Amino acid sequence: MMIRELPSNGIMYKALVEKDSSYEGVFYVAVKTTGVFCRPTCTARKPKAENVEFFSSAEEAIDTGYRPCKICNPLELSGTAPMWVTELLNRVESSPGERWKDDDIKKLGFEPNRVRRWFKKNYNTTFITYMRTKRLGEAVNKIGNGEKVTPTAYTSGYESLSGFIDALKNLTGKAPLKSKEVDLLSIEKINTPLGSMFAGVTDKGLYMLEFEDRRMLKTQIKRITKIHNLVPVIQKHKLIKKVEEQVAQYFEGKLKEFSLPLVISGTEFQKKVWNELLNIPYGETISYEELAKRIGDIKAVRAVASANGFNSIAVIIPCHRVIGKDGDLRGYGGKVWRKKRLLELERAL
């Protein structure tokens, strides 16, 4: 594991106090008085500045003699669902047609407010809305596979056909019988050492792979669904598992070229830039000027930089391999510290 250059102690301690999630993966903090080390976002009581030291990796903290915190689990991938969330999802997914309410969650032994906070933080929605969206996505799939509307409504947890029809119209913009013509963009979260990412796929391929804290995430989803006439839903898809597997292999240093089907969403100029990005070898970088030259328009440096910023398939379409001609990393939609980590990973191998 490479020892990386860290931000100043003042910046890191400020991030620790504010539980700044943008520093997940940048540093780990160890508490001298307790002998444990944590993530920047740990909810445990914050120690005094003189009682902490910072590390760039969990391995460094362990080698120095610290043990992992039991509250924030710093050895888990950032964004990994805790065991109680996994248990909750397993139990509710065994009854897919159930309409879950707070009282039902309590009966299962879970605190509704705790559940609500976790889903709001990790999916920007409540658990009830999360489950409702999943049920509707599954209902659209059933109708598209030839199942009748009325039985689908009741097996999806709706007490009235009219309520189901209204919900489908709100989701797809179409009446139930027309919903079989709708294509869904299946969105699911995957975890990486640099934070959680959202993957968006259909049977045709991967449309989106974005870090969850990217400011343009919602804009990208709207843009992609508009271009391809898709309806976004949170649901599992067989291709997402392949995305997760290959991304994991990349971060483990076992994969240098991805073999996933990609669906690129953009203007002809943007597509030209993104296709050229795919030609940059693993572990190498080029300047924005060089990228403009390679697409045949040396004067289009700013346009090339803008196209880089609109890339919706991070890591796989390697916009992180484009830097300033002076060696400066410049901007990156997934945050510059991630760009630095990605380049460190590739260059180390």
The secondary structure of 173-186 as a DSSP string is SS-GGGGGGPEEEE
Q: Into how many domains does the chain fold? A: 4
- Dump pLDDT digits (tens) for 202-240: 999 999 999 988 888 889 998 998 899 888 888 788 999
Angle between the 127-144 and 112-123 helix axes, to the nearest 10 degrees? 60
Could you tell me if 53 and 122 lie in one domain?
Answer: no
> Which residues carry out catalysis?
319
pLDDT 10s per residue in the chain (349 long)?
444 567 889 999 999 998 887 787 788 999 999 999 999 888 888 899 999 999 988 878 888 889 889 888 887 766 666 677 777 877 776 665 666 778 888 887 888 888 888 888 777 778 877 777 777 777 777 776 777 777 776 666 666 667 777 776 676 666 666 666 678 889 888 888 887 899 999 999 999 999 988 888 889 998 998 899 888 888 788 999 999 999 999 998 999 999 999 999 999 999 999 999 999 999 999 999 999 999 999 889 999 999 999 999 999 999 999 999 888 888 888 888 889 889 988 988 6
- Assign residue 238 a region (left: φ > 0; alpha: ψ between -120 and 50; beta: otherwise): alpha
Confirm whether 326 is domain-assigned: yes
Confirm whether 229 is domain-assigned: yes
Q: Which of 248, 280, 298 is the last residue of a domain?
A: 248
CATH for 13 = 3.40.10.10
Confirm whether 237 is domain-assigned: yes
Of 126, 127, 186, 175, the residue nearest 153 (C-alpha): 175
Could you tell me if 298 and 337 lie in one domain?
Answer: yes
Confirm whether 230 is domain-assigned: yes
Could you tell me if 155 and 126 lie in one domain?
Answer: yes
Q: Is the model's pTM score more than 0.75?
A: no
Confirm whether 342 is domain-assigned: yes
Q: How many residues are listed for the chain in this entry? A: 349
Angle at 312 between CA 174 and CA 250, to 5 degrees: 125
Of 190, 199, 161, 160, the residue nearest 177 (C-alpha): 161
Asked if residue 268 lies in contact with residue 274, where contact means CB atoms within 8 angstroms, the answer is no
Please list, residue by residue across 61-95, b when 16 or more beta carbons sit within 10 angstroms of its beta carbon and e when fewer do.
bbeeebebbeebebeebbbebeeebeebeeebeee
| CA 199 to each of CA 6, 79, 126, 186, 192: distance values in angstroms, whole numbers, following the listed order | 29, 14, 20, 8, 12
> Looking at this protein, which amino acid is placed at residue 42?
C
Could you tell me if 280 and 335 lie in one domain?
Answer: yes
Could you tell me if 174 and 205 lie in one domain?
Answer: no
Could you tell me if 177 and 201 lie in one domain?
Answer: no
Find all residues with CB under 8 Å of 178, minimum gap 6, and list them: 172
Could you tell me if 16 and 88 lie in one domain?
Answer: no
| CA 324 to each of CA 118, 245, 276, 302, 339: distance values in angstroms, whole numbers, following the listed order | 39, 32, 17, 12, 13
Find all residues with CB under 8 Å of 103, minimum gap 6, and list them: none
Could you tell me if 195 and 223 lie in one domain?
Answer: yes
Could you tell me if 231 and 169 lie in one domain?
Answer: no
Confirm whether 296 is domain-assigned: yes
Domain hosting residue 278, numbered range: 268-348
Q: Which of 39, 68, 97 is the last residue of a domain?
A: 68
Query: Which phi and psi (to 5°) does residue 239 adopt?
Result: -75, -30
Could you tell me if 29 and 113 lie in one domain?
Answer: no
CATH for 315 = 1.10.10.10
> Looking at this protein, which amino acid is placed at residue 119?
F
Could you tell me if 52 and 90 lie in one domain?
Answer: no
Could you tell me if 58 and 102 lie in one domain?
Answer: no
Confirm whether 73 is domain-assigned: no
Confirm whether 254 is domain-assigned: no
